[in-house]
A and B are shown apart, each in its own frame.
Chain A
C-alpha cells in the first residue's frame, strides 16, 4: 500500500529527527545535556502533535483548508492573560509564581472563553459556523488591542519579560508543566476517540452529515472544546504557534491525497514532529540560536500560505 509506505517514511523521518536532535554535537558532558535535550524534545513532540490534531479537526469542522484555530482568538487571549498578570502583579509574578499555576490559569481562561464563544454560537439554531469565526476574530482583535494598551503603560523592563512570551520559542519551553500538559492532552485525545468516526462524515459538510445521522450540533460543540483545550496546551507550553498547524496539515493533505482522518491524523502529526524537531535542530546547530524556530516556521508557512491562496484562486 502506498499509504503505508508513505507513513513508514514519515515515521522514520520523525524518529531520525528526534534521535538527531538528541545526539548531534552531544559533547563530553552528555550526562548533563541528554536529560535536558530529552525534556525539550518531549515538549516539541507534544506541541507538534497537539497543533497538528487541533488544526486538522478545526479544518474539518469548518470545511475549510486555509483556516487555523488561531482565528478564534485563543492566542491573543493568552497574551492578554500574561500581560494582565504582569500589569497587576509585576513581572516578578511570572518568575516567582508557580509555573503550574500560571499554566492552569492560562488554560482555564482560554477554555472558558471558548465555551462562552460556543454558547453564543449554538444558542440559536441554524447559526453559521463562520459566525463563530467572525466573533472570534473580533474578540481576538479586542484582546490584542487591550494587551497593547496595557503594555504601553507598564515599565519597559517589565515589558521585556512579556515580550519573551509573545513569540513561540522552544529555547525556553516551560518544561515544568510538561507532565501536566501531557496529561491534559491525553485526556482530550481519549475523549476525541468517541467522535473520531464522525470526522470523515463531517468533512462532507453540515447537511450531508446530518443526513447520515450525525448529531451535528452536539458533535461539533464537543470537537470545538477539544480543539480549544489542545490549542491552549500548545500556546501555554511554547507561545502562539498555530501557524504551524496550517502548514503541516496541508502538507499531509498534499502527500496523502485522502479524506480519511485515520490516515490524516497520523500523517499531520508526524509531519509536524519532523518540522518542529528538524527546525529546532537548524536553529541550534546551523543558526546557533541567532534566530527562533517560530520565525522559520512563520517564514516557510507564510510562503506556503500564499502559494495555497494563489492556487485556490486559479481553480
Chain B
C-alpha cells in the first residue's frame, strides 16, 4: 500500500500540493483527476521521489520513500513522466532493456531478456523492437516507454498522463494493458489522467484534486457524480450510464 501522509509542497508562496493525505489500495488502478494546475503531476513526482516534499511523508509498504535506497525503490516502483524527448540513437528493445537496470546494472542476463520479451509482447511492440526511437510515431514511442516500466517488473507503476498524444485506439489499448497488469499480475497502478471518461471506465478508485487539495476520493461510483465533478471542475456535466459504464457528457 502507498500511504501519502499530509504532503505539502510550495513554489515560493504558492502551495502546489497542500496537506494531501491519500491511501492507495494494492492491486487496483487509482486515477488522479482534476483541472490543470491542481497539483496532480507534482503529487505523483513526490510519491515517486522525483521531487521531495516540503512536509509530510510517503510510505510504500510501510517504508519511508525518502529513507529507502534508490536502487531498492526502483525494483518496487516505476515512474514514467510525460514528455520524453530523447535525441539518442536507441532502438525500442534497447530502451525496454533499460528497465532491467535496477536488477542487472547494465549487464543483461537470460532472465532479463525474458522480461524484455514479455514487456514487448504486452505492449505489442515485437514487430517494432529493432526500430529506432526517432523513427516512431508519438504513440509508438509512448508505448515503448511504458514497455520499459513494465520490464522494470515493479509492484507499483506510476504514469503521468500516459494517454497524451495518443488516438482512441492506442489509448484504449494502453488502458487495457494497465487493467491486465492490475487484474492478472496484481500490480498497483497510479495514473494522472485528463480524460475523465477513461478514468471512469478503467479505474477502480479516483482521487480528485483541486488547488493542491484533495477534493474527493473514492470508488468510481462515488466520484463520477454531477455534484462531485461540479465541485472539482466547476462545470455542469450530465452523467449517462451506457453499457453499465458511467460516461460524462461535458459538451455544453
Contacts and interface: CB of A to CB of B under 8 A. Distances in A.
A267 to B, nearest CB: 13
Interface residues of B, number: 30
Given A197-B106, A211-B78, A259 B89 contact: yes
Nearest to B94: A259
B88 A203 contact: yes
Given A125-B52, A210-B50, A212-B152, A205 B102 contact: no
A259 B87 CA distance: 10
B79 interface: yes
A177 B106 CA distance: 37
Interface stretch (B26-34, B68-76, B223-231, B238-246): B68-76
B87 to A, nearest CB: 7
B185 interface: no
Contacts of B94: 259
Contacts of A126: 51-52
A214 interface: yes
A257 B88 CA distance: 9
A204 B48 contact: no
Given A126-B51, A197-B106, A259-B94, A213 B101 contact: yes
Contact of A213 (B75, B84, B86, B87): B75
B88 A204 contact: yes
Nearest to A216: B70
Contacts of B49: 210
A125 B98 CA distance: 26
A249 to B, nearest CB: 14
Describe B's contact surface by its main secondary structure. loop
B70 A197 contact: no
A216 B52 CA distance: 13
A214 B81 contact: no
Contacts of B88: 203-204, 259
Contacts of B89: 253, 257-259
A98 interface: no
A212 B95 CA distance: 12
Contacts of A207: 50, 79, 81
A94 to B, nearest CB: 43
Nearest to A261: B106
Contacts of B51: 125-126
Nearest to A213: B74
B74 A204 contact: no
B105 interface: yes
B81 A213 contact: no
Interface in A194-227: 197, 200-201, 203-205, 207-208, 210-216
Contacts of A258: 89
A246 B74 CA distance: 34
A212 B98 contact: yes
A212 B87 contact: no
B74 A211 contact: yes
B48 A211 contact: yes
A252 to B, nearest CB: 12
B98 A215 contact: no
B106 A210 contact: no
Interface in B87-145: 87-90, 94, 98-99, 101-102, 105-106
Nearest to A210: B50
B102 A200 contact: no
B50 A213 contact: no
Contacts of B101: 201, 212-213
B84 A208 contact: yes
| Listed residue (A63, A125, A197, A208) with the most chain B CB atoms within 10 angstroms of its CB | A208
A157 to B, nearest CB: 50
Interface in B33-63: 48-52
A126 B75 CA distance: 23
B80 interface: yes
B50 A212 contact: no
A215 B105 CA distance: 13
A207 B49 CA distance: 10
A16 to B, nearest CB: 28
A197 B72 CA distance: 17
A149 B84 CA distance: 46
A65 interface: yes
A213 B98 CA distance: 11
A285 to B, nearest CB: 37
15 contacts: A126-B51, A200-B98, A201-B101, A204-B86, A205-B86, A208-B84, A210-B49, A210-B50, A211-B48, A211-B80, A211-B149, A212-B74, A215-B70, A215-B71, A257-B89
Interface of B: 48-52, 70-75, 78-81, 84, 86-90, 94, 98-99, 101-102, 105-106, 149, 152
Given A125-B51, A211-B149, A213-B102, 20 more contacts: A63-B87, A65-B87, A197-B106, A201-B106, A204-B86, A205-B86, A207-B79, A207-B81, A208-B98, A210-B49, A210-B79, A211-B50, A211-B74, A211-B78, A211-B80, A212-B74, A213-B71, A216-B70, A257-B89, A258-B89
